Structure formats: C-alpha cells, structure tokens
Amino acid sequence: MDDWLDGNAIAGVLVEIFGRDMTTVVRGCPSCGARHEVGAHRLYRGAGLVLRCPSCDDVALRLALADDRRLVTFQGTWSVELPA
Amino acid sequence: MREETALTRTLALDTGEWRGHLAGQHVDVRLTAEDGYQAQRSYSIASAPESPHLELTVERVEEGEVSEWFTEEAHPGDQFELRGPIGGHFTWRVEDGGPLLLVAGGAGLVPLMAMLRHRTARHSEVDARLLLSARRLHEVIYRDELGAFATDPGVEVAIALTREQPSGWQGFDRRIDPAMLVEVGPPAAAAPRIFVCGPTGFVERAADLLVALGHDPRAIRAERFGPSGG
C-alpha cells in the first residue's frame, strides 16, 4: 500500500526536462475536477514514472526515461506561469 | 561531519557557487563509482537558507548504497555531484506567515528543521509547533537543538516515542492520534500552515487525521519518502 511517493520526489528530473520547478504548477483534473499542485500528486514508480491525481487517482503524467530521450505524456489542464 | 544518532550523520558541504535555497527544499545527489556506475538519491536540506554551509542529514538505510557511503565512508574533502535546490511545493518562508504546524516521522524531521532554523535565523515570532514521532529517544536527531527550543516562547516541541520510552519520559508514548494532534495544536480554526514529512504510511495517517480534525486539505503540504530510498 505504501509504495507511492509524491510529485516532490521527481522535482529534479522535471527541472531537467522543463528547465523550471514544476512542483508548484497547478493541474486541473479532467476526471474529478480537483486542482492540485504537481508536488501534491501521487507518484508511482515502475518501469516508468506515473503521477496521479491525489483526489481520484486519474493519471496526470507519464514519464519514460531512456538513456537518450525522455517521453512525457500529460493529462488534464496544466497551468504553467512563465515570466514574460 | 557530525554524528546525529548511530545511523544518522550530518554533512556540511562547501558548494562553491550556491544560489541559495528555501527551507523545505531538497537536492539530488549523484555518486559515480570508479567503474562509471552511478546512483542518485534525493536528500532534504537540513540547514537554514541563512546558514553559511549547506547541510544534509543522511540516515543509513539497510542495503542503501548511497546512504551507506555518506554515513560510513565519506571523508572531509570528498567531492560529489549535487543538483538543486529542488522543489517549490514543500517550502516555507517567514514571509508566508503562520501559525506553523510541523509533523515529522523519523528522518522526516530534516526539512522541517530547516524551517525552524530559518524561523530562528530571521528572529521570527511566528507560532510554530513541532510534533515528532520516533521509535526510541536515541533515534531522535537534533536532540539538543530541539531541547533548546524550550527557551523560545514561540516554539513548542512535542515528541512521541512509539516503541520504547526512557523511565520518567514526559512526552507522548504512542503513535500519533487525534487527541495528540489536538493537544499539540494549533486548532483548525487558527488555520495553520501544515507540513508533514516522513515515510508514506506515516504521512497518510497524519494527513487523514488532520483533515478529520477539520484542517483544510489545501493547507497541508506533504513530502513522503519511501522504502526504495537509500
């Protein structure tokens, strides 16, 4: 049961990919309507990394790490604020 | 280097150019063996942003290749790769205000200690309560420093020893429960900012109890560490 962490645990790899901290980005869940910061999402680690909505467990992000590339799939509304 | 407990050691790092961190953030550490094998782990920053050195407190995990190196083999002067500071979700600044409720399970105390040290360094008077759950007294890190908070009227430290208590123990002697959280406070009506850090099971239990006591789930920030660390 306790084999999951939270979005904070992959903050480093997300910075590597997106060039900014993603844990404070708010995601709106299309499944249950909840809005949570990425850092508050549940992280499951298997062959890849999967972030899930902490309210309904809907998949928010899938991340596959290979030696030469990163494959990222998003679900839901990610509101990213960038400096102008 | 400073031994905190039999299994835990604090390392002060000279990071060269360091852009500063927020209390609660972590770093990713990468060790590379002579044959090129690499292992990476995340460790919470223990020191306040105002501290001259970046400090990490590492607990040795059974079969944990990285934590074993830090707690047994590392010597002053050794070098390794560090990435960070990382994470903006689980952070607190004096400007964010309080009251503050910090709930720690074991080594989950580390990032919360950074928050308390930051509060002290900034001479903040924000009401701060810390509830620490540990198995035994000799497993409690930063023991002297926690004791010294007794002289700070703005900080209250409560320790729950779940497995074994020394004779005459004045603190809690059980796992966290609703009555304990009510006693430590502040109540939900005071709308505290809540930070919970520890193993996943501990964090889940604490967060569920806090929500049941009426705390706003959005005011509760959590950081979990799992068995796969090391």
Percent helix, strand and coil across chain A, each to the nearest 5: 20, 40, 45
Q: What is the pLDDT along chain A (84 residues), one digit of tens a residue?
A: 458 999 999 999 999 999 999 999 999 999 999 999 999 999 999 889 999 999 999 999 999 988 889 999 999 999 988 888
pLDDT: is B127 or B63 the higher one?
Answer: B127
> In this model, does residue B230 exceed pLDDT 60?
no
Are residues B226 and A12, on separate chains, in Cβ contact within 8 Å? Answer: no
Tell whether domain B94-225 is in CATH 3.40.50.1950: no
Q: Which two tokens stand for residue B215?
A: 């705390």
Q: What burial letters (b/e) apply to B67-95, b meaning 16+ CB within 10 Å?
A: bbbbbeebeeeeeeebbbbbbbbbbbebe
**pLDDT at residue number A2:** 59
pLDDT: is B37 or B134 the higher one?
Answer: B134
Residues of B in contact with A4 (CB under 8 A): 200, 224, 226
CA distance B48 to B51: 5
Q: pLDDT tens digits, residue range B164-174? A: 999 999 999 99
Quote the percentage of chain B above a pLDDT of 70.
98
**pLDDT at residue number A65:** 86
Residues of B in contact with A8 (CB under 8 A): 26, 87, 89-90, 223-224
Residues of B in contact with A23 (CB under 8 A): 87-90
> Which pLDDT band, with edges at 50, 70 and 90, does B178 fall under?
very high
pLDDT: is B17 or B213 the higher one?
Answer: B213
Domain ranges of chain B: 2-86, 94-225
Quote the percentage of chain B above a pLDDT of 90.
87
Q: What is the interface size between A and B, counted as CB pairs within 8 Å? A: 62
**Closest residue on chain B to A23 (Cα):** B89
Nearest CB to A5 within list B88, B221, B225:
B225
With an 8 Å Cβ cutoff, is B227 touching chain A?
yes
> Which pLDDT band, with edges at 50, 70 and 90, does B120 fall under?
very high
Residues of A in contact with B83 (CB under 8 A): 12, 15
Q: pLDDT tens digits, residue range B91-108? A: 999 999 989 999 999 999
Fold adopted by B2-86:
Elongation Factor Tu (Ef-tu); domain 3 (2.40.30)
For chain B, what is the largest distance between any 2 Cα atoms, rounded to a whole number of angstroms? 57
> In this model, does residue B17 exceed pLDDT 60?
yes
**pLDDT at residue number A47:** 85
- Mean pLDDT taken over chain B: 94
> In this model, does residue B34 exceed pLDDT 90?
no
**pLDDT at residue number B13:** 94
Nearest CB to A37 within list B89, B200, B228:
B89
Q: Which two tokens stand for residue B112?
A: 């919360």
Backbone φ and ψ of B65, nearest 5° = -65, -35
Backbone φ and ψ of B14, nearest 5° = -100, 105
